């Protein structure tokens, strides 16, 4: 009797069916598959969990990930974090693009904890994106929270929507940049940033 009551309690606690999984099952059927076969039975749940994880940036805010890690400091030289791994989803085909982000800023009396810069990148990368917008969003967010003299962001990425479909160019790499403040207006600052990021390749 106790076991039956416990079973009834658990049934009552089951949340309503999320529409996400039926949509995935319908998509599998449209592709000509049988979502009931063994290998695909759990696929709708796995796809739901995976996509929610890959787009978790919608639930994140720059101010929250930085928190109180902004410090008053008289450092006047450029601060650059290179080779930040990025993984994102192209909003046009829902296929991944991945690569590295290089982020630098010129302090104006305040610095941010170094680990927070990759976290800012993550806020925007973990959304449906285009690389151009992602680059701008990172630069604008750092300008907003740090109010530095300038910010520079370069992203180098490989897009599976180009590699697996369409033109199918396996070695194509897309490079985007966003320059703000001194990085845009001062040639010496811009050249220093590009040397740090690319070893001078853009300046030859």
Is position 161 annotated as part of the catalytic site? yes
Question: Would you say residue 82 has pLDDT above 70?
Answer: yes
Arithmetic mean of pLDDT, 71-99: 96
Is position 10 annotated as part of the catalytic site? no
Arithmetic mean of pLDDT, 7-34: 75
- pLDDT at residue 1, rounded to an integer: 44
Catalytic residue among 21, 33, 80, 93: 93
Start-to-end C-alpha separation, the chain: 81
Arithmetic mean of pLDDT, 98-113: 97
Arithmetic mean of pLDDT, 104-120: 97
- pLDDT at residue 163, rounded to an integer: 87
Catalytic residue among 131, 137, 156, 192: 131
Is position 91 annotated as part of the catalytic site? yes
pLDDT class of 17 with cuts at 50, 70, 90 = low
Catalytic residue among 21, 33, 48, 161: 161
Arithmetic mean of pLDDT, 110-124: 97
Q: Are strands 79-90 and 128-129 parallel, antiparallel or unpaired?
A: parallel
Is position 92 annotated as part of the catalytic site? yes
Q: What sign does the dihedral 56-63-153-195 (CA atoms) show?
A: negative
| Cα–Cα nearest to 179, from 197, 152, 142 | 152
Q: How many angstroms from the chain centroid is the CA of residue 155? A: 11
- pLDDT at residue 15, rounded to an integer: 52
- pLDDT at residue 5, rounded to an integer: 43
- pLDDT at residue 7, rounded to an integer: 44
Q: What is the pLDDT of residues 161-170, one digit of tens each?
A: 888 887 777 7
- pLDDT at residue 9, rounded to an integer: 38
Is position 48 annotated as part of the catalytic site? no
- Structural domains of the chain in order of their starting residue, each with its CATH number: 2-54 (1.10.286), 64-203 (3.30.1130.10)
Is position 143 annotated as part of the catalytic site? no
């Amino acid at each position: 009797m106790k076991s039956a009551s416990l079973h009834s309690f658990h049934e009552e606690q089951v949340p309503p069916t999320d529409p996400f999984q039926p949509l995935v099952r319908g998509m599998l059927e449209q592709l000509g598959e049988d979502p009931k076969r063994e290998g695909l039975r759990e696929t709708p749940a796995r796809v739901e969990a995976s996509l929610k994880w890959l787009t978790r940036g919608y639930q994140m805010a720059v101010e929250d990930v930085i928190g109180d890690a902004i410090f008053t400091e008289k450092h006047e030289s450029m601060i650059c974090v290179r080779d930040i791994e990025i993984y994102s989803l192209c909003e046009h085909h829902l296929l991944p693009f991945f690569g590295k982000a290089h982020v630098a800023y010129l302090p104006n009396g305040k610095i941010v904890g170094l680990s927070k810069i990759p976290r800012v990148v993550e806020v925007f990368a973990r959304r449906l994106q285009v690389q151009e917008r992602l680059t701008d969003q990172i630069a604008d967010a750092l300008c907003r929270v740090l109010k530095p003299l300038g910010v520079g962001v370069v992203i180098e990425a490989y897009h599976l929507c180009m590699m697996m479909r369409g033109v199918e160019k396996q070695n194509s790499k897309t490079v985007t940049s966003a320059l703000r403040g001194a990085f845009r207006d001062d040639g010496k600052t811009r050249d220093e940033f590009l040397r740090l990021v690319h070893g001078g390749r853009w300046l030859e």
